[in-house]
A and B are shown apart, each in its own frame.
Chain A
Amino acid sequence: MSLELLIDILIATVPLMLIFATLFAFTTWLERKALARIQNRIGPNKVGIPCTRIGLFGLGQPAADGIKMIFKENIVPRGADRLFHLLAPILALIPSMLVLCFLPLDFPWLNENSVKAFLLDGAVIFFFAITGLNTLAVFMAGWASRNKYSLLGGMRAVAQMVSYEIPLVLSAVIVVMMVGSLNAGEIAGAQKGGNWFVFSPWGFAAFVIFFIAALAETNRSPFDLPEAESEIIAGYFTEYSGFKFALFFLAEYIAMFAISGLAVTLFLGGGDGPGLAVLPWLSVIWFLAKIFALIAVMIWLRGTLPRLRVDQLMGFAWKFMLPLSILNIFVAGFAWHAEQLDNKFIMVITWLISLAVLYGAASGLNQLNRGKVRPREYKYAE
């Protein structure tokens, strides 16, 4: 390997890791602050500049948390599988870090000769392949802890992640069909000039399905059953402490960034936005801003929605999301053929028909899945 290639690889990867690790620290603060406001609290507001009284809205909290995590004792249960207990957080972090390079972040310091993994033919399929490894890390953590609650959390997580991966991939297929490429750079390029996929009936449906499935993939509330505190303590990382716990935490947030980044690439136009003609480097800013918008929605949902039951979770994936995403593929196929005709009138008709079909299918599935539960009758407590 030549030195130049090594330097090119470092230039392409190190900034990504630094930027997203910084964003991770900021997001933990943002999440705690936002949740606190939703719950009518103040949130972290004490830690600022050390040895002064300056609080800085608690912005020093992530650093303080990090220092605390590193110096905490590393406890491994006696019956645990020591090797797997050690490997699980590492295996959780590596795939989430690795997929960041498939996001079409065109940094200003990258030129034509730089290593750009997102221009790989098949970047999207690599993305899905590598995110699939997260499931194994979660199972490994749950199994290695030799704890019933951990194992329950791990099995819940595996079932949930495997189920929700299908609608996730099927909704991404629509974009791949429309663009005719698995290349993340080409997909983002096809949406230049406000021509985003989310602004079409099939694209919007696919985006909503993708986002819900992404919430479940990253174990975010309302799908946070694998780590449901009130049911199984902390799920698969009950037995983790100190730095290993911090690694899990980091992996979870990086996975959130990565999957939001893929949603931005596929549906929200990548780095597209106003002002690109004047300042091309704005595309990175727009990309990160869109990721943050999605993260803000995730935090908002966490503060708003209650957790699902296991049967509701599975039913939602298999009885609602899967049929809808398959139907959406057919709708998108017909829309693609209509687009080839290049006729305004036909396009309008296609839009109306696909809107009607998707809305009808969604409400019909909703009716079908509605449980046979009547309002509860109170016999004695009048």
Chain B
Amino acid sequence: MNEVIAFWILSAIAVLGALVAVRKRNLIHGVFALLVFFAGLSGLFLLLLAEFIAAVQVLVYIGAVGVLLLFAIMLTERVAGDDGRRMTSRGWSWGLVVAAAVFVLLLLSLWPVQQLSMPKAKDPSEFLTQISDPGYDGNSERKRILNSVRTIVNRWSN
């Protein structure tokens, strides 16, 4: 249940952050909205139990890319960050149409995914209980991961 609530909150944060980042006239506000989007996505990675990727997301995107974007805005636009001219490009309505079309296409392409992999798919919470299980041995798990990586490398090198 917690997971569902967390998913909806985090996805709302991510989508709103992305929308504001794309539509905001003030570029500095846009960068900070983009950083909110990155943070929301990092939370989603945590929800998917990829905590290392979540940490790298914060480290690289919020820590490095955000600062880089701020520097670029300070070096190019006026310091206030206002995108003063007309904000949208000439064929913006066509852009909206294409984006909507791609969205529909993506939804359609999701259809076969359901039939192919949903029956086999696992709930992440099962994996979590497996890890938090007192009988679970982290060391042997690590060895198993290492072994599987080794077999992949062997398969590729042959």
Where the two chains meet, the residues of A that have a C-beta atom closer than 8 Å to any C-beta of B are: 1, 84, 120-122, 125-126, 128-130, 132-133, 135-136, 139-140, 143, 146, 151, 155, 158, 162, 165
Measured in the bound complex, the distance between the Cα atoms of B72 and A139 in whole Å is 13
The reply to whether A132 and B62 contact each other, CB–CB distance below 8 Å, is: yes
Q: A136-B66, A155-B74 are in contact. List 15 more A-B contacts (CB 8 A).
A: A122-B51, A122-B55, A125-B52, A125-B56, A128-B59, A129-B55, A132-B62, A132-B63, A132-B64, A135-B67, A136-B62, A139-B67, A140-B32, A158-B67, A162-B67
Beta-carbon contacts under 8 Å, B58-109 to A: 58-59, 62-64, 66-67, 70-71, 74, 79-81
* Chain B nearest CB, measured from A219 CB (Å): 16
CB nearest neighbor in B for A136: B66
30 contacts between A and B (CB under 8 A): A1-B2, A84-B28, A84-B29, A84-B32, A120-B51, A121-B51, A121-B52, A122-B52, A122-B55, A125-B55, A125-B56, A126-B55, A128-B59, A129-B55, A129-B56, A129-B59, A129-B62, A130-B58, A132-B58, A132-B62, A132-B63, A132-B64, A133-B62, A135-B67, A136-B32, A136-B66, A139-B70, A143-B81, A146-B80, A155-B74
Which B residues lie within 8 Å of A132 (CB)? 58-59, 62-64
Does B14 touch A at the CB level, under 8 Å?
no
Does B35 touch A at the CB level, under 8 Å?
yes
Per CB-CB distance, the 5 closest pairs between chain A and chain B, nearest first, are A132-B63, A129-B59, A129-B58, A125-B55, A129-B55
Measured in the bound complex, the distance between the Cα atoms of B59 and A125 in whole Å is 8
* Chain B nearest CB, measured from A250 CB (Å): 22
Which B residues lie within 8 Å of A146 (CB)? 80
Given contacts A122-B52, A151-B79, contact A133 B71 (CB under 8 A): no
Which B residues lie within 8 Å of A158 (CB)? 67, 70-71
* Chain B nearest CB, measured from A132 CB (Å): 3
CB nearest neighbor in A for B52: A122
Measured in the bound complex, the distance between the Cα atoms of B70 and A321 in whole Å is 25
The reply to whether A133 and B63 contact each other, CB–CB distance below 8 Å, is: yes
Instruction: Report whether over half of chain A's contact residues are helix, strand or loop; otherwise say mixed.
Output: helix
Measured in the bound complex, the distance between the Cα atoms of B55 and A120 in whole Å is 12
Which B residues lie within 8 Å of A121 (CB)? 51-52
Measured in the bound complex, the distance between the Cα atoms of B63 and A84 in whole Å is 18
Which A residues lie within 8 Å of B80 (CB)? 146
Measured in the bound complex, the distance between the Cα atoms of B2 and A120 in whole Å is 21
Measured in the bound complex, the distance between the Cα atoms of B63 and A165 in whole Å is 10
Instruction: Report whether over half of chain B's contact residues are helix, strand or loop; otherwise say mixed.
Output: helix
Measured in the bound complex, the distance between the Cα atoms of B80 and A129 in whole Å is 28
Which A residues lie within 8 Å of B29 (CB)? 84
Scoring A139, A151, A155 by chain B CB atoms within 10 A of each residue's CB, the highest score goes to: A139
* Chain B nearest CB, measured from A361 CB (Å): 27
Beta-carbon contacts under 8 Å, B26-63 to A: 28-29, 32, 35, 51-52, 55-56, 58-59, 62-63
* Chain A nearest CB, measured from B62 CB (Å): 6
Which A residues lie within 8 Å of B67 (CB)? 135-136, 139, 158, 162
Measured in the bound complex, the distance between the Cα atoms of B73 and A139 in whole Å is 13
Measured in the bound complex, the distance between the Cα atoms of B28 and A1 in whole Å is 37
Measured in the bound complex, the distance between the Cα atoms of B148 and A210 in whole Å is 37
Measured in the bound complex, the distance between the Cα atoms of B51 and A76 in whole Å is 39
Given contacts A1-B2, A151-B79, A158-B70, contact A136 B58 (CB under 8 A): no
Measured in the bound complex, the distance between the Cα atoms of B7 and A293 in whole Å is 44
* Chain B nearest CB, measured from A358 CB (Å): 28
Which A residues lie within 8 Å of B58 (CB)? 126, 129-130, 132-133
Measured in the bound complex, the distance between the Cα atoms of B1 and A1 in whole Å is 9
Scoring A122, A136, A151 by chain B CB atoms within 10 A of each residue's CB, the highest score goes to: A136
Which B residues lie within 8 Å of A122 (CB)? 51-52, 55
Measured in the bound complex, the distance between the Cα atoms of B75 and A155 in whole Å is 11
Which B residues lie within 8 Å of A135 (CB)? 63, 67
Which A residues lie within 8 Å of B2 (CB)? 1
Measured in the bound complex, the distance between the Cα atoms of B33 and A140 in whole Å is 13
CB nearest neighbor in B for A126: B55
Which A residues lie within 8 Å of B55 (CB)? 122, 125-126, 129
* Chain B nearest CB, measured from A78 CB (Å): 14
Scoring B66, B70, B81 by chain A CB atoms within 10 A of each residue's CB, the highest score goes to: B70
Measured in the bound complex, the distance between the Cα atoms of B31 and A143 in whole Å is 13
Scoring A84, A129, A132 by chain B CB atoms within 10 A of each residue's CB, the highest score goes to: A129
Which B residues lie within 8 Å of A165 (CB)? 63
* Chain B nearest CB, measured from A85 CB (Å): 13
Measured in the bound complex, the distance between the Cα atoms of B119 and A269 in whole Å is 50
Measured in the bound complex, the distance between the Cα atoms of B55 and A233 in whole Å is 36
CB nearest neighbor in B for A131: B63
Which B residues lie within 8 Å of A128 (CB)? 59
Which A residues lie within 8 Å of B81 (CB)? 143
Measured in the bound complex, the distance between the Cα atoms of B70 and A140 in whole Å is 10
Measured in the bound complex, the distance between the Cα atoms of B46 and A126 in whole Å is 12
Measured in the bound complex, the distance between the Cα atoms of B51 and A125 in whole Å is 10
Measured in the bound complex, the distance between the Cα atoms of B56 and A158 in whole Å is 20
